[in-house]
Amino acid sequence: MNNSKNNEYSGFHVGLTGGIASGKTKVSNIFIKLGVEVIDTDHIAHTIVEPGNMALTEIVDAFGKEILTDSKQLNRIYMRDLIFNNPAKRKLLESIMHPKIQDEVEQQLSTSSGLYQIIVIPLLTSSPLRNQIDRILLVDCDVNTQLTRIMQRDGVTSELAKKIIASQSSRNERLAIAHDVIENNSSFEQILPQVKKFHERYLRLAKK
């Protein structure tokens, strides 16, 4: 586990991670209802590619205007199919996005309040943002559950769903770095008490 947190930003920071379709959003929404400030890198990633933002300009320069819709928005479905069928293009996109996401997270941390903050980072195993994390909370589910959820949610084929899962760190890699684990193979009712338990734990840890 990586405990070399950069102490530039005060507060106790919990990194919330998990594979695609593991249930990170459901878990983070519960923390929000409990009054915890949540910084979501997925939300940041969507915001910084809106028309007029530098990230979108750089992506167009790198990939061409065909990645835009008729209304000059990023064509997310086109990009998804492109990068998950070409690892080199995925790495190129990450090289544009990741530094800008990190800058925005650090900006939000510099003005955050509360005893602790949740930072939602899907690719935490390989993210430099691990240096800002005191504790890692993993939302975990089995691979078959992931596949079913991706196919139902996004309307993709089993083949593409498997490529998306394979592009991320493995379940074992995520479990290896986690301090805490929420099991999410079934219902909302199952995860609610788990989140409340960890909320109380993080409040105690943040006060130390």
- How far does CA 50 lie from the centroid of its chain? 18
Q: Quick one: tokens of 41?
A: 């890198």
Q: Is the pLDDT of residue 126 over 80?
A: no
Amino acid (one-letter) located at 159? E
- Give whole-number Cα distances, 47 to 24, 50, 51, 104, 106, in Å: 18, 6, 9, 10, 16
Q: Quick one: tokens of 113?
A: 């309040």
CB atoms within 10 A of CB 160: 17
State mean pLDDT over 58-68: 96
When pLDDT is cut at 50, 70 and 90, the band that residue 10 belongs to is low
Higher pLDDT, 178 or 2: 178
DSSP structure class, residue 144: H
pLDDT of 1 reads 37
Q: How many CA atoms lie within 13 A of 149 on its CB side?
A: 18
Handedness of CA 141, 143, 144, 148 (dihedral sign): positive
Quick check: 80 and 46 in contact, CB under 8 A? no
DSSP structure class, residue 21: T
Please determine, looking at this structure, whether the domain spanning 12-207 carries the CATH number 3.40.50.300: yes
Residue whose C-alpha is closest to residue 3's, from 177, 198, 207, 182: 177
Residue carrying structure tokens 């943002």: 129
When pLDDT is cut at 50, 70 and 90, the band that residue 57 belongs to is very high
Please, what is the average pLDDT of the chain?
90
Q: Is the pLDDT of residue 128 over 50?
A: yes
CB atoms within 10 A of CB 155: 9
When pLDDT is cut at 50, 70 and 90, the band that residue 3 belongs to is very low
State mean pLDDT over 131-147: 93
pLDDT of 168 reads 86
Tell me the pTM.
Answer: 0.86
Quick check: 38 and 28 in contact, CB under 8 A? yes
- Give whole-number Cα distances, 7 to 13, 131, 177, in Å: 10, 9, 20
- 162-173 per-residue burial string, b: 16 or more CB within 10 A, e: under 16: bbbbeebbebee
pLDDT of 160 reads 87
For the chain, the structural domain boundaries read 12-207
Task: Express each pLDDT in 14-54 by its tens digit.
Answer: 999 999 999 999 999 999 999 999 999 999 999 999 999 99
Task: Express each pLDDT in 145-192 by its tens digit.
Answer: 999 999 999 898 999 899 889 888 899 999 999 999 999 998 778 899
What proportion of the chain, given as a percentage, has pLDDT over 70?
95
